Chain A
Amino acid sequence: DSGVTQTPKHLITATGQRVTLRCSPRSGDLSVYWYQQSLDQGLQFLIQYYNGEERAKGNILERFSAQQFPDLHSELNLSSLELGDSALYFCASSVALASYNEQFFGPGTRLTVL
């Protein structure tokens, strides 16, 4: 158990809908990262937050947004969902900003868009 929790574990929804994925980092970790894992593209970095502020952006679509709250939990919002958004979404946390620090991954949320 990495100490990172993600909810829900599974999510099934329809095209055009909006969903929110939630992540609670390990106690004491200030950085939160979001990744998308699909079968053909491996692990794709989406976005990073550090202590409530956005710090780095990867291949995140404009339909997707995220935020980190004062209690350091984070939410990833996916809107106008398309079939291709079906994937595993991982949240990871680390103690500090630099990527030298180990990232601890949660168990993931499996999103299925029908």
Chain B
Amino acid sequence: GENVEQHPSTLSVQEGDSAVIKCTYSDSASNYFPWYKQELGKGPQLIIDIRSNVGEKKDQRIAVTLNKTAKHFSLHITETQPEDSAVYFCAASLGVDQFYFGTGTSLTVIP
């Protein structure tokens, strides 16, 4: 099955700086890559996703890039704010299959 690796496991940035989280996947047939944000005491929530026919997608301060050849995708958060502090999970899917989640990145934005 698919194997998703996520780095780093923890990340601290100063408020206003950028944060980048990277994931790699193993199955070249995977074609859907969502990112979820999990705040303390809550369930994960979708923040952005990308399909394999697109190389980059942006939504305000959040962007995701996908490199199908290298089988990796990244989450970029610009102008970080304290409310961005949370655990972020990447995932990969074949589109009609289960999500394979990464192990999570705990992001702390220092005011």
Contacts and interface: CB of A to CB of B under 8 A. Distances in A.
A43 B98 contact: no
A107 B42 contact: yes
A56 to B, nearest CB: 5
A89 B85 CA distance: 22
Contacts of A105: 36, 43-45
Contacts of B45: 2, 105
A32 interface: no
B98 A56 contact: yes
Contacts of B89: 42-43
B102 A58 contact: no
Contacts of A106: 43
A42 B101 contact: yes
Interface stretch (A13-21, A63-71, A77-85, A92-100): A92-100
A92 to B, nearest CB: 7
A45 B51 contact: no
A43 B94 CA distance: 17
Instruction: Kindly name the residue among B41, B45, B99 whose own CB sees the greatest number of chain A CB atoms within 10 A.
Output: B99
Contact of A42 (B46, B94, B97, B103): B103
B43 A90 contact: yes
Interface of B: 32, 34, 36, 41-46, 49, 51, 89, 93-104
Given A44-B101, A98-B96, A105-B36, 9 more contacts: A42-B101, A42-B102, A42-B104, A43-B104, A45-B98, A45-B99, A100-B32, A105-B44, A107-B41
